């Protein structure tokens, strides 16, 4: 049935059935219950462009939509299709705009598309543009950004984005100041700005071995200042002192060493690979062969070695070569992260005797290697303390024997969880302090294998169990274990970053040879919840290397 439509004084002859099938808007418009449906000429009251409507009509009849048009024209077609509920055309335009946002060099165009995503509530476009702006924050023209007249919600979404990449954190404050020149700063925006800075400071502060003691003190002072500012009314200019940092110019990447399986010859050992991940964006950022021609084949079969993060790389210590008889790695080696791959830098020392499946903790310039197994597979009851600058070593007795011992740093001291008890080591007088725990709170049949601190809380996991426990170390009374939540998978090779625990686990608990699929999950100690952030497409045996961190 042919009908007449009037759009901007222009008459269109349309097929009622075709439009009703393509658009909920016209299905309602032609409904007999609608007063205008019986008129000879129906006037479209929505603000739409007649030429764009003709393009959409042509698509409805031919199935072809010419996308070789400039950005403003494409946006106009999308706006018309959205207003008249042509869902197929909307989807085509959104997909084309999304494709263009990935290749645009002009960040003014990306701001334009972000505005479209904001106004039309197109989440896919909005998130894609927000990510590109955040990752290229310093390339944004602030004047043009302000000209786009984004809502407060959009500004808050941007400053709260965890992956903002900027040479100076002050750029974030500058953007808000520019946007707010003709607006009133709300408590909500003020809180979001402070929270964004607090989150990134806390992330660095509680990720082991990322900051020097001096840097930690600066961050702690800034955090205290931010907390005081958050609780009182203040102007944007009052925040300048706590944004004089460059934390957003450096990114923490989750790293892993592993070897890919050859599907044709799975028994042949391949070169070890170095993988880096961006856990916030949930994607792998790099994969490369390990740049150590001398040792990379051996690393692929190293079992029970420890990896410790340092500000510009990592330290590998100990372990036994899987297929060698009494073939041990006795070296302590430092690797630095050069663009794309880690490179062997120096040998820091030699272990006095073989050790594998030990725990490594770095506090200042002292590397602590705790417990593990010796050459005869006997559990060790000592720890080696190695001063990385002088090379001096000393051996200290542990409270008990153990391997994969749960140990970490707390207030510049080594804290260890063993046999249901908490011990704190004093390096000055070389003694252990036993913190008494509430016996009834100690989990049954659990020996912890991983520990990390966030604030005054000590968090603990046990290999091949899912429950995460915590202890408040600031308590002057008996220490009490509390259940925080459960991981999605059994704890196997965890590491921590700020308030998050990352767990590298097998997706199949019956995968005894380690050749099956691996997943990385992220557990938030604040909420007690966990989510999967990455899944390997192909099986990768990881041997006994844990996850660790690298700053890029």
CA distance 240 to 81: 45
124-133, 269-278, 451-460: least confidently modelled range: 269-278
Query: What are the residues facing 81 on neighbouring strands?
Result: none
Predicted pLDDT of residue 339:
63
Is the pLDDT reported for residue 139 higher than 50?
A: yes
Report how far residue 3's alpha carbon sits from residue 38's, in angstroms, rounded to the nearest whole number.
10
Please, are residues 146 and 154 in contact by the beta-carbon 8 Å criterion? no
Mean pLDDT of 379-393: 93
Q: Which residues contact 170 (CB under 8 A, 6 or more apart)?
A: 240, 243, 244
Rounded distance, CA 202 to CA 219, Å?
A: 8
Residue 263 has pLDDT above 70, yes or no: no
452: which DSSP letter? Answer: E
CB 34 within 8 A of CB 24: no
Q: Which of the residue ranges 122-136, 280-294, 387-401 would you say has the lowest mean pLDDT? A: 280-294
Element (H or E) spanning 215, and its range?
helix 213-230
- Give the pairing type, strands 450-454 and 431-435: unpaired
The predicted structure's pLDDT at residue 482: 92
Task: Calculate mean pLDDT across residues 228-242.
Answer: 80
| Mean pLDDT within 328-339 | 83
- Domains plus CATH for the chain? 2-180 (3.30.710.10)
Q: Give the predicted TM-score (pTM) of the model.
A: 0.77
Between CA 326 and CA 522 the distance in angstroms is: 37
Q: Which of 11-15, 258-262, 443-447, 521-525 has the weakest average pLDDT? A: 258-262
Cα 386 versus chain centre, distance: 32
pLDDT score at 314: 87
pLDDT at 513: 46
Q: What is the mean pLDDT of the chain?
A: 85
Q: What's the mean pLDDT in 318-335?
A: 80
Residue range 61-80: mean pLDDT, rounded: 89
Confidence check: pLDDT of 454 > 70: yes
Q: What's the per-residue H, E or C state across 306-353?
A: EEEEECCEEEEECCEECCCCCCECCEEEEEEEECCEEEEEEEEEECCC
Cα(421)–Cα(539) distance, integer angstroms: 38
Pull the structure tokens for residue 446. Answer: 């659990």
Q: List, in sequence order, the alpha helices (H) in 170-301.
A: 170-179, 187-205, 213-230, 296-299
Mean pLDDT to the nearest integer, 512-526? 74
The answer on pLDDT for 255 being more than 90 is: no
Average pLDDT of 46-75? Answer: 88
Checking DSSP bridges between strand 320-321 and strand 2-7, what pairing results, if any? unpaired
| pLDDT above 70 for 543 | no
Do the strands 450-454 and 457-461 form a parallel or antiparallel pair, or are they unpaired? antiparallel
The pLDDT of residue 297: 46
φ/ψ (deg, to 5) at 286? -160, 150
Ranked by mean pLDDT, the top range of 34-48, 49-63, 147-161 is: 147-161
Q: Percent of the chain having pLDDT more than 70?
A: 87
Predicted confidence at residue 542, as pLDDT, reads 54
Mean pLDDT is highest, among 228-232, 235-239, 278-282, 513-517, for: 235-239
pLDDT, tens only, 475-514: 888 899 999 999 999 888 888 888 899 998 876 544 444 4
């Amino acid at each position: 049935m042919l009908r007449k439509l009037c759009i901007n004084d222009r008459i269109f002859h349309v097929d009622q059935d075709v439009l009703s099938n393509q658009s909920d808007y016209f299905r309602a418009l032609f409904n007999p219950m609608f007063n205008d449906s019986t008129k000879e000429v129906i006037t479209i009251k929505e603000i739409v462009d007649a030429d764009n409507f003709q393009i959409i009509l042509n698509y409805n009849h031919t199935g072809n939509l010419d996308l070789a048009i400039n950005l403003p024209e494409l946006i106009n077609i999308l706006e018309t299709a959205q207003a008249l509920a042509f869902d197929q055309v909307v989807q085509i335009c959104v997909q084309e705009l999304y494709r263009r946002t990935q290749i645009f060099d002009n960040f003014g165009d990306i701001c334009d598309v972000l505005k479209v995503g904001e106004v039309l509530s197109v989440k896919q476009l909005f998130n894609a543009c927000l990510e590109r702006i955040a990752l290229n924050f310093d390339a944004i023209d602030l004047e043009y950004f302000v000209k786009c007249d984004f809502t407060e919600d959009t500004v808050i979404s941007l400053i709260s984005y965890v992956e903002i990449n900027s040479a100076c954190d002050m750029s974030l404050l500058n953007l808000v100041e520019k946007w707010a020149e003709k607006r009133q700063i709300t408590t909500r925006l003020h809180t979001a700005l402070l929270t964004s800075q607090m989150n990134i400071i806390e992330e660095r502060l509680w990720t082991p071995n990322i900051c020097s003691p001096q840097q930690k003190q600066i961050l702690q002072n800034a955090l205290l200042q931010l907390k005081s500012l958050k609780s009182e009314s203040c102007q944007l200019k009052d925040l300048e002192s706590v944004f004089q940092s460059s934390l957003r110019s450096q990114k923490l990447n989750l790293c892993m060493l592993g070897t890919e399986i050859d599907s044709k010859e799975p028994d042949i050992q391949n070169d070890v690979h170095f993988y880096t991940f961006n856990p916030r964006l949930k994607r792998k950022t790099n994969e490369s062969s390990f740049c150590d021609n001398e040792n990379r084949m051996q690393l692929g079969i190293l079992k029970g070695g420890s990896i410790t993060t340092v500000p510009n790389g990592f330290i590998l210590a100990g372990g036994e070569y899987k297929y060698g008889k009494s073939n041990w790695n006795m070296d302590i080696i430092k690797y630095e992260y050069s663009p794309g791959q880690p490179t062997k830098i120096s040998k820091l020392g030699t272990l006095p005797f073989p050790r594998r499946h030990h725990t490594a903790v770095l506090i200042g310039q002292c590397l602590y290697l705790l417990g593990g197994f010796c050459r005869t597979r006997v559990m060790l009851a000592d720890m080696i303390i190695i001063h990385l600058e002088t090379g001096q070593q000393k051996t200290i007795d542990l409270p008990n024997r153990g391997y994969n011992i749960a140990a970490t740093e707390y207030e510049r001291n080594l804290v260890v969880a063993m046999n249901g008890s908490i011990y704190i080591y004093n390096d000055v007088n070389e003694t252990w302090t036993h913190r008494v725990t509430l016996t009834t709170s100690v989990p049954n049949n659990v020996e912890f294998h991983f520990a990390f601190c966030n604030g005054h809380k000590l968090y603990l996991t046990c290999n091949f169990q899912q429950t995460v426990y915590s202890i408040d170390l600031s308590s002057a009374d008996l220490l009490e274990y509390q259940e925080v939540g459960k991981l999605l998978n059994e704890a196997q090779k965890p590491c921590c970053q700020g308030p998050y625990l990352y767990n590298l686990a097998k997706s199949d608990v019956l995968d005894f040879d380690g050749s099956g699929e691996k997943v990385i999950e992220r557990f938030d100690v604040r909420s007690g919840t966990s989510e999967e952030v990455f899944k390997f497409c192909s099986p990768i045996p990881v041997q006994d290397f844990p996850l660790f961190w690298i700053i890029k």
